[in-house]
Amino acid sequence: MHNTRTLTVEVWRQSSAEDDGRFVAYDVTGVTPATTVLELLDLLNEQLPDGEQPVKFDDGCREGSCGKCGVMVDGVAHGPEFNTTTCQQHVRAFRNGQRVRLEPLRAEAFPVLQDLAVDKKKSLRTVVKAARGPAGMKALTNAGCISCGACVAVCPNGSGQLFVGSLLTELPPLMKDDDERRERTEKVIETAGETFGPCSTLGDCTEVCPAGLPLENLSAVAREYLRNQNKTRHQH
Ligand code: SF4
Ligand code: FES
């Protein structure tokens, strides 16, 4: 077929959470410039040698809105195109015969379940729950965050600060009074500290965030923290 290419895909294979895992290289044929990363995985699974288990990966809407997908492509969360979910990333930049490395979203908070599939829900949900579940979800929706976890995976510290900051940017108007705001924001900051690494304001997160959330959102964490400290001081 016109314009098709063959890529050597080095993919992370790990049979279970307990397995050590390793990269395995496969030649995948029939790739076109319009093939997305998830379609590349579909092709790979169709072409696997007999007897090999399909590569497991996180899949969902394939429209960039559910936040379920996510792999590292050559070490970058979601892939080489800025602010684009894995399901919307195309492999057009890869030439015939080129190697591409696909591995799970790497973060301490995201244990690998199998191959490229990780559990990112558990840690992200812990923080949302600290914001009183539904209000936390609403805050994320209002911020435009799709809970994809890419900001955590791309950060060398495994910090979830863009996620947490985006939540805290939108949470205050959803609280019924100042006491609830203080109680919930304190809990969110404490839980995030236990769940993710510290933020060094490196900003890699804003390059991968499919929602294009800005670095300014990080400041909501400091704002709520200082606000809570001031209140505590005034009470003593
Ligand atoms: S802040 Fe952006 S990168 Fe982080 S979880 Fe939300 S949408 Fe994904
Ligand atoms: S599969 Fe839904 S955002 Fe990628």
- Reply yes or no on whether the pLDDT at 40 is more than 70: yes
Instruction: Please work out, in degrees rounded to the nearest 5, the angle formed at the alpha carbon of residue 73 by the alpha carbons of 61 and 149.
Output: 55
Average pLDDT score over residue span 196-201: 96
Q: What's the pLDDT tens digit per position in 119-152? A: 999 999 999 999 988 999 999 999 999 999 999 9
- Reply yes or no on whether the pLDDT at 63 is more than 60: yes
- Reply yes or no on whether the pLDDT at 1 is more than 90: no
CA distance 123 to 235: 33
CA distance 149 to 84: 13
Domains defined along the chain, listed by start? 5-118 (3.10.20.30), 121-235 (no CATH)
How much distance in Å is there from the Cα of 58 to the middle of ligand 2?
Answer: 9
Helices 121-130 & 133-143, crossing angle to 10 degrees?
110
How much distance in Å is there from the Cα of 65 to the middle of ligand 2?
Answer: 6
How much distance in Å is there from the Cα of 175 to the middle of ligand 1?
Answer: 22
Closest alpha carbon to 154 in 212, 71, 77, 70: 77
* Under 8 Å between Cβ of 144 and 211: yes
Average pLDDT score over residue span 24-41: 97
Residues with CB under 6 A from ligand 2: 59-62, 64-69, 85-87
The pLDDT-based confidence of 2 (bands split at 50, 70, 90) is low
- Reply yes or no on whether the pLDDT at 90 is more than 80: yes
The closest-lying atom of ligand 1 relative to the alpha carbon of residue 148 is 8
- Reply yes or no on whether the pLDDT at 117 is more than 60: yes
The pLDDT-based confidence of 232 (bands split at 50, 70, 90) is low
List 90's β-bridge partners, or say none.
36
CA distance 192 to 198: 9
How much of the chain, in percent, has pLDDT values that exceed 70? 97
- Reply yes or no on whether the pLDDT at 234 is more than 70: no
- Reply yes or no on whether the pLDDT at 91 is more than 80: yes
CA distance 160 to 197: 7
Q: Of the bound ligands, which one is closest to the alpha carbon of residue 37? A: 2
Q: What is the pLDDT of residue 230?
A: 86
Q: What is the pLDDT of residue 3?
A: 82
Q: Of the bound ligands, which one is closest to the alpha carbon of residue 169? A: 1
Q: What is the pLDDT of residue 235?
A: 65
List 73's β-bridge partners, or say none.
76, 102
Indicate which residue's Cα is closest to atom 7 of ligand 1. Answer: 145
- Reply yes or no on whether the pLDDT at 163 is more than 60: yes
- Reply yes or no on whether the pLDDT at 236 is more than 70: no
Q: What is the pLDDT of residue 174?
A: 97
